[in-house]
Structure 1
Amino acid sequence: MPIPIKVEPLENYRLWVKYSDGVEGIVDLSDLAGKGVFALWNDYREFQKVYIGPSGEIAWSDQVDLCPDATYLKITGKQPEDIFPKLRELVAYARN
């Protein structure tokens, strides 16, 4: 799975993310702002402190991080089965 190599905060709780395979795009996180652990972003300066953590997670402080696989899927519009073909086999097996 590709990993994020660059992340930049944009306006309105959006991020521009570039992945190791060259995929890049914008992720809108405005629906998360102010909810649960994302209340950290109530101070917009905290949202702007985004970085890539040691395991490839997209992070803000030690309190908040996002799964890089989920943001990759959101940017590409792909389903998990598109990235991990074995999942198709598991789903088909589970249905039988």
Structure 2
Amino acid sequence: MNEIIEFEVLSTYHIWLKFQDGYEKVVNIRPYIGKGFTQELLETENFSKVNIEPGGGLAWYNGYDICPNFLREMPAEKKDVA
């Protein structure tokens, strides 16, 4: 099971992730938000209101969450995203 142990919001829709096994990557969440109740996450302030949920994935204040296994499989972005 993959679990996120650290994260950092880097820039608009990009988050650096560190998994429990030490693996690190940057992911772009933009393709997964913007419709329905995730539309409010397009606002930078709202997007930044993210945390690690008990299952080791990412969760936002509005109930939207992304499974850690899915995050692990997402394409990695360049580390220098700013």
Is the pair's TM-score, using the shorter chain for normalization, greater than 0.5? yes
Moved over 6 A (4+): none
Larger radius of gyration: 1
Match of 1:52 in 2: 52
- Quote the Cα distance in structure 1 between the aligned partners of 2:66 and 2:73: 12
- Quote the Cα distance in structure 1 between the aligned partners of 2:34 and 2:62: 17
- Quote the Cα distance in structure 2 between the aligned partners of 1:17 and 1:75: 12
Deviation at 1:62, TM superposition (A): 4.4
Unmatched tracts of structure 2, length 5 or more: 77-82
Q: Work out the percentage of aligned pairs sharing the same amino acid.
A: 33
For the 8 Å contact 1:18–1:25, the answer to whether it is kept is yes
Q: TM-score, normalised by structure 1?
A: 0.69
- Quote the Cα distance in structure 2 between the aligned partners of 1:14 and 1:39: 16
- Quote the Cα distance in structure 2 between the aligned partners of 1:63 and 1:14: 19
Match of 1:70 in 2: 70
Q: TM-score, normalised by structure 2?
A: 0.80
Greater relative CO (CA pairs within 8 A, separation 6+): 2
Task: Give a deviation string over 1:16-50, Cα, whole Å, max 9, x none.
Answer: 11000000100111223322232121321111111
Does 2:24 match 1:24? yes
State the aligned residue count: 76
Match of 1:13 in 2: 13
Structure with greater helix share of residues: 1
Instruction: Output the aligned Cα RMSD.
Output: 1.7
